[in-house]
Structure 1
């Protein structure tokens, strides 16, 4: 065996050596449950409701799934309000909140597209992957970088998982009520929008943006409820 080949093999072995990645055996362990605050329990309630919405989508009940999903949205907002009100905000709580966001916003959005919008399995595979991948990276970046600041105003780096979720819901509404709309257009719009979650776009965190998001959810919720009850 030549020396260059030995060096190449040694380099590969060093890169896959897991000895330095193993967690050392220690008696110190973090009491995860003991660190949970009231806000974190509200976040877990949002996880429970978000999982319920996912199951409704899988059972072919998109309208009820959307309504239950919006309940998860509400709980997700309540946990932040509660943490600020009680002074229990912490880096650990923000990690919990980001974990819950995957199941409150990203997974339901991917499943709604798969069940009600996707024109093919391949389209669902690609769009669902983009939603989950870019959404997950967006949450990781937010935990790492936090909010940006511009003239005293805070902003998110990139569009948020809420924007992406509501875009999927908007396409569901358009597909339901606009004859010319179809799953290919929806898939293209959602797919193109996903990378914006890790872009340098500044999504300002203002009361107006929160009100607009709440109004959008209320309008969409009213439409799907009327549709489910046969009024539309």
Structure 2
């Protein structure tokens, strides 16, 4: 047995293990733990690729395994979590948004696999781990602050649907590896304001507020920075 290949595959499998723990926690009504398990899945997801590259054992098998686990942990698990938290109260619209999130997650992963050798320096669309954790961490924050998402009316299903759409959009998100599109100062200032604003509003539950701020800021930052980049190219043209 090649133990060097086994280690990154164990990390990948733990991604799905945590995803299943999230789903089971949701079914049992432990939504806070469900959200945390999605965060744990993100950590495992980050370790598998780094471990494989460090050991020099990256493979197509590992890449396919990673995508399948991601769909469960960051597509299906957060969709079920959002459904249980609030979307079930919106009738047919809630059902549609729940399914839409999972389908967009599948679409995002498929497109990423196909374009992996073509797209460099940025992510085309919001990465599914970020999208799934945005749903999970905001859920954790709502529960910590005893906020009912239903109090926001139709904004909640709209926000979940927007997050899903961002995953399949052509918005360019930085991958923090360098070589991507220019990051504009206006975008940085906007991100800072959003981040600080969420920390301020969620100061009574600072840990979930920090994680929610990270993923919300990243999602919105991509929209603003990409819009500015498109406008800049239009002016140059």
Q: Taking structure 1 as the reference length, what is the TM-score of the superposition?
A: 0.67
In structure 2, how many angstroms separate the alpha carbons of the residues matched to 1:167 and 1:173?
Answer: 10
Deviation, structure 1 residue 65: 1.3
Within the candidate set 35, 51, 59, 1:90 is matched to 59
What is the alpha-carbon root mean square deviation over aligned residues? Answer: 3.2
SS at match of 1:40: helix
Counterparts of 1:53-72 in structure 2, within 5 Å, are: 53-72=22-41
Larger Rg: 1
Could you say which structure has the higher helix fraction? 2
In structure 2, how many angstroms separate the alpha carbons of the residues matched to 1:56 and 1:221?
Answer: 21
Once the two structures are superposed, what CA deviation does each residue of 1:184-208 show, in whole Å capped at 9, x if it has no partner? 3111111123122122111111179
In structure 2, how many angstroms separate the alpha carbons of the residues matched to 1:167 and 1:99?
Answer: 20
User: Using a 3 Å threshold, how does the CA distance of structure 1 residues 223 and 144 change in structure 2: closer, same or farther?
Assistant: closer
Deviation, structure 1 residue 91: 2.2
Deviation, structure 1 residue 162: 2.2
In structure 2, how many angstroms separate the alpha carbons of the residues matched to 1:47 and 1:162?
Answer: 12
User: Using a 3 Å threshold, how does the CA distance of structure 1 residues 183 and 64 change in structure 2: closer, same or farther?
Assistant: farther
User: Using a 3 Å threshold, how does the CA distance of structure 1 residues 155 and 162 change in structure 2: closer, same or farther?
Assistant: same
Match status 1:78 vs 2:18: no
Deviation, structure 1 residue 73: 1.4
Once the two structures are superposed, what CA deviation does each residue of 1:1-49 show, in whole Å capped at 9, x if it has no partner? xxxxxxxxxxxxxxxxxxxxxxxxxxxxxxxxx9x64212221122112
Match status 1:219 vs 2:189: no
Where does structure 2 lack aligned partners over 5 or more consecutive residues?
Answer: 179-198, 200-205, 213-237
Counterparts of 1:1-232 in structure 2, within 5 Å, are: 37-118=6-87, 119-146=89-116, 148-149=119-120, 154-173=121-140, 175-176=142-143, 177=145, 178=147, 181-182=151-152, 184-206=154-176, 219-220=207-208
The 10-residue stretch of structure 1 (121-130 or 39-48) with the greater mean CA deviation from structure 2: 121-130
Q: Taking structure 2 as the reference length, what is the TM-score of the superposition?
A: 0.66
SS at match of 1:120: helix
Assess if the C-alpha contact under 8 Å between 2:8 and 2:48 holds in 1.
Answer: yes
Once the two structures are superposed, what CA deviation does each residue of 1:54-75 show, in whole Å capped at 9, x if it has no partner? 1001111001111222212111
Where does structure 1 lack aligned partners over 5 or more consecutive residues?
Answer: 1-33, 209-215, 225-232
SS at match of 1:200: coil
User: Using a 3 Å threshold, how does the CA distance of structure 1 residues 171 and 130 change in structure 2: closer, same or farther?
Assistant: same
